[in-house]
Structure 1
Amino acid sequence: MTSTDPPAVPPSAPAVPPLPPAVVPAGISVELPGPPHPPGILAACDGSDGSLWALDRAMTEAELFGLPLYVLAVVNPSPGGYPPGMAELVQESVERLTSSMADGLHRAVAAVERGRGRPFGGGISLHVVLGRVVEVLLAASVGQHTLVVGTRGNGGFSRLLLGSVSTAAVHHAACPVLVVPAPPARR
């Protein structure tokens, strides 16, 4: 290749317009807990039973190792992307969805603390991020001590041993992954 040749452009999927920014309620961060933050325990939480069991274990791990706990929920309001001009029209729906997920994170933490019979004994931050679940989770795993996920989330295929998110995490996360199964009584 000479300096006058155009750079090679790898084939890629069609461009997807970016997701619109969302208004996030107080106490929720949209930043990914990555390298600028101290390494900690990253817990994926979608509100499913599996993610609550994973959050409980993540709290135990964070307390055991004296690490911060980052609880991450990912909102993907349009898995296929938005057609041109549509992103602006769905802004209010994205804001409602993000607010609902933020409320769900607060309720998940409270429910797990009630189940444990005590509040979490460490630093915790809640994060709601717009994007594709697996991509966001893998990016957030960079620089973390451990990523904690449930065996299955809200995907609905109960016959699977691992869901697509936990499988992707096991194979591609940038840190160790702890996959938390259902308690014996729930299997």
Structure 2
Amino acid sequence: MTTADGRAAQVLPIAGTPPGPPQPPGILAACDGSDGALWALDRAMSEAERYELPLYLLGVVDPAPGGYPPGMAELVQESIERLSGSMADGLRRALRAVEQARSRPFEGPVSLHVVLGRVVEVLLAASVGQHTLVVGARGNGGFTRLLLGSVSTAAVHHAACPVLVVPAPPARR
């Protein structure tokens, strides 16, 4: 994958490690493909450029929100691989869409990370050693009437770095 200006965007192997130490601190953007995540990604790009830091785009796949009964993990491995591949494709599309919507291309290094696990746990672990975690106010979950989603609320209260919560643009609220 290349970014809009032809640079290569690194995509770590599926189920790779979250972008925490020992990589250099950067701007960590959580992306679930929602409009809120795209607005947050645009802001994360601006923050990365402003502070001349790398941008880490993180997508999390929770393959078993309720857990598996004994012996089921092996049976669903193909589905997990498909989910992870779909998330990686979604991160590439999100990056491309946001770069095309910007007035100028993103100028810094970017890497994409797809990690298996529970979203909040992975995001909080990935926040260790980062400059800033950027999340949308609400993602793909339900309960759109809430001011903040469960992921952004957990990030604000428990992340190991400063958190920037990006609300919807005024016309979308």
Task: Tell me if both proteins adopt one fold, taking TM over 0.5 as the criterion.
Answer: yes
Partner of 2:73: 87
Q: Aligned-pair distance for 1:27?
A: 4.3
**AA paired with 1:28?**
V
**The residue matched to 1:118 in structure 2 has which SS?**
coil
CA–CA separation in structure 1 for the residues paired with 2:10 and 2:126: 19
| TM-score normalised according to structure 1 size | 0.85
Q: Is the 8 A contact 2:120 2:155 kept in 1?
A: yes
User: Could you list the runs of 4 or more consecutive aligned residues of structure 1 that deviate by over 4 angstroms after TM superposition?
Assistant: none
**The residue matched to 1:52 in structure 2 has which SS?**
helix
**AA paired with 2:11?**
I
**The residue matched to 2:152 in structure 1 has which SS?**
helix
Unaligned runs of 5+ in 2: 1-8
**AA paired with 1:81?**
G
Deviations 1:33-59, CA, capped at 9 Å, x for gaps = 111100000000000000000000000
- C-alpha RMSD over aligned residues: 1.1
Q: Aligned-pair distance for 1:80?
A: 1.3
Q: Aligned-pair distance for 1:28?
A: 2.1
Unaligned runs of 5+ in 1: 1-25
Partner of 1:72: 58
Deviations 1:42-99, CA, capped at 9 Å, x for gaps = 0000000000000000000000000000000000011111111100000110000000
Deviations 1:146-172, CA, capped at 9 Å, x for gaps = 000000000021101000000000000
Does residue 42 (structure 1) correspond to residue 24 (structure 2)? The answer is no
Q: Percent identity?
A: 81
Map 1:2-151 onto structure 2 (within 5 A).
Answer: 27-29=10-12, 30-151=16-137
Partner of 1:10: none
CA–CA separation in structure 2 for the residues paired with 1:175 and 1:77: 27
Partner of 1:176: 162
